[in-house]
């Protein structure tokens, strides 16, 4: 591996979908890549809810970054949290797990630090309503959901049992929809015969969202299907409501007319919103970059920050023409940024078609980027990760619903990237 002091130092912050694919594009080049992540694990987030409901173990949805990237001889993994950046000195300040600060120098910086759960200014809700962004969140949710059935079993007061068998989910996006359906299935199928006092089939699952329907962002047809499927499963929909308070015993929701209603539920789960992590604010301060309402960094079409062509922001943390925060966008942008840097450092012409293909996907002006094309791309992306899928038709079913509504066979979360295989779709393999 080239010395870190040689020119051509590339630093990637974040080893999620975006960071991994950027690393992939930079594999084997005559430059040194440092991947900084505060966690040693890559997490396959789309399967978090399966982990939360006990279908998969955490080991099946995570893989050590070092192992995934062990064949990348020009890359080293650093377990640390990036907290600041100095664009003039071209260094990123990081904190080791032990608390010590150190600087990582870069010539090119790719930021892929994702987003975190947002409680819309009510962080105090988090203690009662865990989110769903990390493995630790998923394990907390699992503990609370299964714990609720256990406590209901030993409750002597029927009213108390009812509260323990009531599950409230805040947020009617893909995660809330998947989780709500999964809890009802757990109650009516998996756990049905396992309790003697409590009847799991009595479990009420309430889904709250401020919009007029779940999955409204995916269009009326899909949203309508989600409504039907959720109702068939017995999920109670409370659309058009804003949750105004959460505590140990339930939540309060306000409808469009301003009426507030109290719901008793011992388990409240939060899947309602996301915001950029603190590193985004540090980056914006240091570079003058603009942040959108969720704190994401607004990037130019080539994914760089205005005035800083050496810094790219990719994946969920980038804000680019309302592209959604989904895995395929993270992977496409990771490849794009990685190959862009590679071309700048080596002048390799063979990377051009890749950059063009990814660019075309991200560029609406090229006619290929509309978000409605993303389900097809998502399908390809999931295939690249060996996630079994029932393939959605373009524009009909987002990849989010693949596992939940159409399981063909038990999911396998094999996270290895197929070695030596061409990338999916029309993105050609690159030979350095």
Rule CB under 6 A: say whether 45 interacts with ligand FAD. yes
Question: What angle, rounded to 10 degrees, do the helices at 327-346 and 374-384 form?
Answer: 70
| Least distance to ligand FAD, CB of residue 76, Å | 14
Distance in Å from the first CA to the final CA of the chain: 16
| Binding pattern for the stretch 345-384 against ligand FAD, x by CB under 6 A and - elsewhere | ---------------------------------x------
Nearer to ligand FAD, 155 or 335 (CB): 335
SS3 307: coil
Nearer to ligand FAD, 196 or 293 (CB): 293
Nearer to ligand FAD, 152 or 230 (CB): 230
| Least distance to ligand FAD, CB of residue 217, Å | 13
Write out the DSSP string of 110-162.
EE----EE--TT-GGGGGTS--SSSHHHHHHHHHHHHHHHHHHHH--SHHHHH
- In this structure, the number of other CB atoms found within 10 A of the CB of residue 210 comes to 18
As a residue count, the chain comes to: 432
Burial status of residue 382 (CB atoms within 10 A of its CB: 0-12, 13-18, 19 or more): buried
Given the rule CB under 6 A, which of 13-21, 187-195, 304-312, 364-372 is the region that contacts ligand FAD? Answer: 13-21
Of 3, 81, 124, 178, the catalytic one is 178
Rule CB under 6 A: say whether 46 interacts with ligand FAD. yes
| Least distance to ligand FAD, CB of residue 249, Å | 26
Nearer to ligand FAD, 27 or 133 (CB): 133
Q: Is 160 a catalytic residue?
A: no
Rule CB under 6 A: say whether 415 interacts with ligand FAD. no
| Binding pattern for the stretch 324-343 against ligand FAD, x by CB under 6 A and - elsewhere | -xxxx-x-------------
Rule CB under 6 A: say whether 18 interacts with ligand FAD. yes
Rule CB under 6 A: say whether 187 interacts with ligand FAD. no
Among 8, 9, 12, 16, binds ligand FAD (CB under 6 A): 16
| Binding pattern for the stretch 156-185 against ligand FAD, x by CB under 6 A and - elsewhere | ------------------xx----------
Rule CB under 6 A: say whether 38 interacts with ligand FAD. yes
What's the rounded Cα separation, in Å, for the pair 311 and 303? 8
Nearer to ligand FAD, 155 or 317 (CB): 317
SS3 24: helix
Rule CB under 6 A: say whether 82 interacts with ligand FAD. yes
Rule CB under 6 A: say whether 319 interacts with ligand FAD. no
Question: Residue 35: which of 1, 3, 8, 69 has the closest Cα?
Answer: 69
Contact 353, 339 (CB under 8 A): no
What's the rounded Cα separation, in Å, for the pair 112 and 115? 9
- The side-by-side arrangement of strands in the sheet containing 260-264 is 241-247, 250-255, 260-264
Strand pairing of 81-86 and 75-79?
unpaired
Given the rule CB under 6 A, which of 16-24, 98-106, 180-188, 197-205 is the region that contacts ligand FAD? Answer: 16-24
Distances (CA, A) of 287 to 295, 382, 400: 14, 34, 35
Distances (CA, A) of 405 to 86, 87, 210, 316: 47, 46, 24, 25
Copy the structure tokens of residue 62.
Answer: 């995570």
| Residues 95 to 124 in contact with ligand FAD, rule: CB under 6 A | 112-114
Residues forming beta bridges with residue 117, ordered by sequence position: 274
Binding residues vs ligand FAD (CB under 6 A): 13-19, 36-39, 45-46, 48-49, 81-82, 112-114, 132-133, 174-175, 277, 279, 315-317, 325-328, 330, 378, 399-400
Catalytic residue positions? 178
């Amino acid at each position: 591996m080239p010395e870190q002091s040689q020119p051509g130092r590339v630093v990637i912050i974040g080893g999620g979908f975006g960071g991994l694919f950027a690393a992939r594009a930079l594999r084997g080049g005559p430059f040194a890549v440092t991947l900084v992540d505060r966690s040693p694990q890559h997490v396959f987030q789309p399967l978090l809810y399966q982990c939360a409901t006990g279908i998969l173990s955490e080991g099946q949805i995570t893989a050590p970054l070092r192992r995934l990237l062990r064949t990348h001889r020009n890359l080293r993994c650093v377990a640390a949290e990036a907290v600041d950046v100095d664009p003039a000195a071209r260094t990123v300040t990081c904190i080791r797990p032990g608390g010590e600060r150190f600087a990582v120098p870069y010539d090119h910086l790719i930021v892929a630090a994702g987003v975190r759960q947002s409680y819309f200014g009510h962080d105090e809700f988090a203690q009662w309503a865990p989110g769903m962004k990390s493995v630790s969140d998923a394990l907390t949710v699992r503990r609370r959901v299964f714990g609720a059935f256990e406590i209901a079993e030993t409750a002597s007061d029927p009213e108390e049992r009812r509260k323990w068998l009531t599950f409230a989910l805040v947020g009617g996006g893909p995660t809330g929809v998947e989780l709500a359906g999964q809890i009802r299935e757990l109650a009516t199928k998996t756990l049905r015969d396992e309790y003697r006092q409590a009847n799991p089939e009595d479990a009420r699952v309430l889904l709250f969202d401020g919009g007029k329907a779940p999955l409204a962002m995916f269009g009326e047809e899909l949203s309508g299907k989600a409504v039907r499927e959720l109702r068939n499963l017995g999920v109670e929909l409370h659309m058009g409501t804003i949750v105004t308070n959460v505590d140990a015993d339930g939540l309060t929701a306000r409808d469009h007319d301003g009426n507030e209603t109290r719901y008793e539920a011992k388990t409240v789960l939060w899947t309602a919103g996301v915001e950029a992590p603190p590193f985004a604010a540090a980056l914006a301060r240091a570079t003058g970059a603009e942040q959108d309402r969720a704190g994401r960094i607004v990037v130019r079409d080539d994914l760089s920050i205005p005035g800083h062509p050496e810094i790219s922001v990719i994946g969920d943390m980038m804000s680019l023409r309302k592209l959604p925060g989904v895995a395929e966008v993270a992977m496409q942008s990771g490849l794009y940024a990685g190959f862009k840097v590679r071309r700048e450092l080596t002048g390799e012409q063979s990377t051009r078609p890749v950059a063009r293909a990814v660019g075309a996907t991200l560029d609406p002006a090229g006619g290929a980027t509309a978000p409605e094309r993303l389900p097809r791309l998502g399908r390809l992306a999931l295939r690249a990760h060996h996630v079994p899928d029932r393939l959605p038709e373009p524009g009909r079913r987002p990849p989010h619903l693949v596992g939940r509504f159409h399981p063909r066979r038990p999911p396998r979360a094999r996270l290895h990237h197929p070695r030596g295989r061409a990338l999916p779709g029309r993105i050609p393999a690159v030979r350095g």
